[in-house]
Amino acid sequence: MRKNLYTIFLVFCSQMVFGQTTIIRNSEIAKMISEISSDSLEHHVRMLASFNSRHTLSIDEEDGMPAAQQYVLSKFNHFAKQSGGRMTAEIEKFVIPGDDRRIPTDSPAANVMATLKGINPADDRIFIISAHMDSRNKDVMDEKGASPGANDNGSGTAAVIELARIMASHQFSATILFVAFTGEEQGLKGATYLADKAKNEGWNIGAVLNNDIIGNSSSSETLIKDNLMMRVFSETIPAAETEQEATIRKYINADNDSKSRQLARYIKEHGERYVDQFEVKLIYRADRFLRGGDQTPFAKNGMTAIRISEMNENFLHQHENVRMEDGVQYGDLPDFMDYEYLRKVTAVNLASLASLADSPDQPLEVKIDVRNLSNQTTLLWKAPKIGKAKGYFVLMRETSSSMWERKFWTTDTSLTLPYSKDNYFFAIQSVAESGAEGIPVLPTPLFKLN
């Protein structure tokens, strides 16, 4: 009796949170998440912070950026042995052109990357999980002084390393690229290099999950201690929006539905589905106020890209020289981080990335029928070209709501719902045999049949 009541309560709760759907955790993803180790994460952060400086322009082969990059490469190469030949790792060298800002002269630089090939030869999508590994102190041009960069951004780099370790032995439809960027603090140099390369070579980028400052749970000044929340930043008006796209956006009131915003919602849903005691907060900004990150060059190239960050930053331990002053310790040191919190943020990444890399591609020609005035809403679409969709979720939300609120399942490629398009937003999401869901697509109006 008591058990029945509990079951009813659970079903009620899940319907309250997720509309008509039931919360189902994929067992393989849940197992991978259980393997994320706060000890491993802490080890990587301490190792990264043990190099004197990871400044982009640091050339010290023993104690500087090149040595730290060798550490990341050695980890990737080690995990690659578990991948059955599907994971390869490299240090990709390039030259950052000198500019008038933070690069005095043309300078050698490198990103460290591991590629986990997808198992579906017809799936050319690449999902990028990234973090910058360069660090800085108070003087952004000081390439020799100590800059441990434990949280900014040893934390994100450790998450990328840990995800590579766990995911290397698993198979995904699409390819996953694990990247430790250089040059973020000098002006997003490493990310710009890769985003431009991806654009010029026509890579099919599924999404970019960029992690920057994700391992501290106590704020400066406001003294908040809270390991229950993280943030996802997503652009509102796309940086790469064309005039034609702007016209459509205004026409259908899609001001809160950029591709990156859909990804942010997806991460919130998947993160909260798999990670207990954790809330993913959507921030309707491309980044923090007047600040930037490595997701930006990808967004500027029209790709779907978001930034993941901790909820409460601590500015005693960010971009500060390591020192004691009036009894206060300054500097970005490993002792000030919360590794259980870092584990949870890493888990949100894994839940989202594993689902994305196994999802079918997005449905094509997604339309909302406006040929006749009607209080019903008819949606039509075509099956994705990449991956097999066993069916689709039609998503619905109030115009004033931030998250999708209801999911209607269909195996067809059209659905009519007894809800008016005047009062709700709709989107379509492909679903794989495994249950993996793709990023939802907002429909555009269908005025007449071709």
* Shortest distance, position 100 Cβ to Zn ion, whole Å: 22
Nearer residue to Zn ion within complex by CB, 52 or 153: 153
What HEC string does 253-308 produce? CCCCCCHHHHHHHHHHHHHHHHCCCCEEEEECCCCCCCCCCCHHHHHHCCCCEEEE
* Min CB(344)–Zn ion separation in Å: 19
Kindly write out the interface string for residues 419-438 of this chain, putting x where it contacts Zn ion by CB under 5 A and - elsewhere: --------------------
C-alpha torsion angle, residues 185, 188, 193, 195 (rounded to 10): 140
Output 177 or 308, the one with its CB closest to Zn ion: 308
Rounded to whole angstroms, the Cα distance separating 370 from 347 reads 41
The reply on whether position 313 binds Zn ion by CB under 5 A is no
The smaller minimum CB distance to Zn ion, of residues 134 and 257, is found at 134
Q: How far is the CB of 233 from Zn ion (least distance, A)?
A: 13
212 lines the binding site for Zn ion (CB under 5 A):
yes
If binding means CB under 5 A, how many residues of this protein chain bind Zn ion? 3
CB of 270 to Zn ion, least distance (A): 24
| Residue environment code for 160-183, b if the CB has 16+ CB neighbours within 10 A, otherwise e | bbbbbbbbbbbbbbbbbbbbbbbb
**Which residue's CB is nearer to Zn ion, number 139 or number 398?**
139
152 is an interface residue for Zn ion by CB under 5 A: yes
Show the tokens assigned to 290. 């007047």
* DSSP structural state of residue 294: T
**Cβ proximity to Zn ion, 152 vs 272, nearer residue:** 152
Q: Does position 153 bind Zn ion by CB under 5 A?
A: yes
The reply to whether 151 sits near Zn ion by the rule CB under 5 A is no
| Amino acid letter for position 321 | N
Closest distance between Zn ion and the C-beta of residue 63, in Å?
21
Q: Which of 197, 61, 177, 200 is nearest to 130 (CA)?
A: 177
Neighbouring C-beta atoms of residue 79, cutoff 10 Å = 23
> Residue 298 has which token pair?
């990808």
The distance of closest approach from Cβ of residue 68 to Zn ion in the complex, given in angstroms and rounded to an integer, is 15
Interface residues with Zn ion (CB under 5 A)?
A: 152-153, 212
